[in-house]
Structure 1
Amino acid sequence: MRFIKDEEFIRGNCPMTKEETRILSIAKLEIEEDSKVLDVGAGTGSISIQAAKICSKGKVIGIEKDEDALDVLYKNKEKFQTYNFEIIEGEAMEKLNEINESFDAVFIGGSGGNLKEIINVSLEKLKPKGRIVLNFITIDNLYIALNTLKQLGVTAECNQIQVSRAKGRTHMMVANNPIFIISGGK
């Protein structure tokens, strides 16, 4: 399996799940080539695109509401020829309620302020033994997610990763934002 490098993605002005975080998050999803994956808050599509490459005999659905992100998302879908990746445009909660499918894995990278509700509905759509992975920068969202999962009886693991990259001739280390990765199973 070849993981896609950050510089390969079309970016625009949209935030993107960075390479190291993306690889770890994808690993925690535990997806197979025939898995069905849901990506809530798909952004540039870095998680969706990578998942679609792994799930070549499966399906990935990404939900995104931001118009700038959608433009980049469609461009990345075309660039990487991920025809098993379906993009759904709109608010996560509205679109989640319209989806009548179940999934092997759910990734939540954005919530638009409806995190608790998104987790609830996403877990309803998760197959038995399915995996859920969530990424956050803020402690507020981390707390809401962990508390919600606990209330729903999901045992969750939480990791915080900090990645720094060397820049320039002197290889000065420049830090990316620390990221919280929550993962759990149904």
Structure 2
Amino acid sequence: MKCGGAWVNDHYYSTKPQSASNRRAFEASHRGIQLRLTSDAGVFSRDGVDYGSRVLIEHMEIPENARVLDIGCGYGPIGLVAARLAPQGHVKLIDINERAVELARLNAEANGIHNVSFGQSDLFEAVQDESFDVILSNPPIRAGKAVVHRLFAESIGFLKPGGTLWVIIQNKQGAASARSKLEEIFGEDEVSEITKDKGFRLYRCTNAKTK
């Protein structure tokens, strides 16, 4: 976008989006869960929950008492559904984008979802002393392969033994190389393709470490 005569590099993975706020509200229904969501300019998929996130939401396995991390949460649809699926658990929603984090917090409040917490974070920066049963990621492909592969590499260190990382990614955006990287990190036997849907592939990666 252009601001004050100069071009501003404004992406959904910007720390502080410069685009003018233009909020919109819409209804979403996933896994039988109704949500009233507000999105805004400068965040990922502002016009509605994107197809990849919907595939992840429909297939992710969330134990009722799980401690869950939604990394790159955007305005919160994945993490908020996870919170509904884990009523005795807790979901932490983090994103580098401060506007996205504020929207996720607002959407949790609007839907009466309380077993959640939030943080602005560059990848895992804000959760350094925490561990999780489940990590959910619709990774920021436009941030570049190096960032995405770093997310994969660091994620295993934040999973409890037996914990799972769920990753949704499009074929045309590097699903094959993503799977190779995930197998390098987790081990070939610990990475499973759960589904493929309209060019998206959903991978589940298990932390096989016992301690």
**TM-score of Structure 1 vs Structure 2, range by shorter chain:** 0.7 to 0.9
Q: CA deviation at 1:150?
A: 1.3
In structure 1, list runs of 5 or more residues that go unmatched.
163-177
* TM-score normalised over the length of structure 2: 0.68
Residue 182 of structure 1 aligns with an amino acid whose one-letter code is Y
Instruction: Give the Cα separation in 1 of the matches to 2:196 and 2:31.
Output: 24
CA deviations over 1:36-79 (Å, ceiling 9, x no partner): 11111000100110111111111111111113322321210111
Separation in structure 2 between the aligned mates of residue 74 and residue 137 of structure 1, nearest angstrom:
28
Larger Rg: 2
Q: What is the RMSD computed on CA atoms of the aligned residues?
A: 2.6
Stretches of structure 2 lacking an aligned partner (at least 5 in a row): 1-29
Residue 12 of structure 1 is aligned with which of 29, 40, 45? 40
Separation in structure 2 between the aligned mates of residue 133 and residue 18 of structure 1, nearest angstrom: 17
Query: 2:176 maps to what in 1?
Result: 143
For the residue of structure 2 that corresponds to 1:37, the secondary structure is strand
Aligned residues between the structures: 168
1:119 has 2:170 as partner: no
Structure 2 distance, partners of 1:82, 1:5, is 12
Distance 2:116 2:87 in 1: 10
Q: CA deviation at 1:151?
A: 0.8
Higher relative contact order (CA 8 A, sep 6+): 1
Runs of 4+ in 1 over 4 A off after TM superposition: 19-24
Q: Give the equivalent residue in structure 2 for 1:101.
A: 130
TM-score (norm. length: structure 1): 0.76
> CA 1:149–1:5 in 2, change beyond 3 Å: closer, same or farther?
same
In structure 2, the residue matched to 1:180 is 201
The answer to whether the 8 A contact 1:159-1:181 is kept is yes
Q: 1:181 is paired with a residue of what secondary structure?
A: strand
Task: Provide the residue aligned with 1:156 in structure 2.
Answer: 192
1:124 & 1:45 partners in 2: Cα distance?
23
Q: State the identity as a percent.
A: 23
Distance 1:107 1:2, change over 3 A: closer
Secondary structure at the residue paired with 2:38?
coil
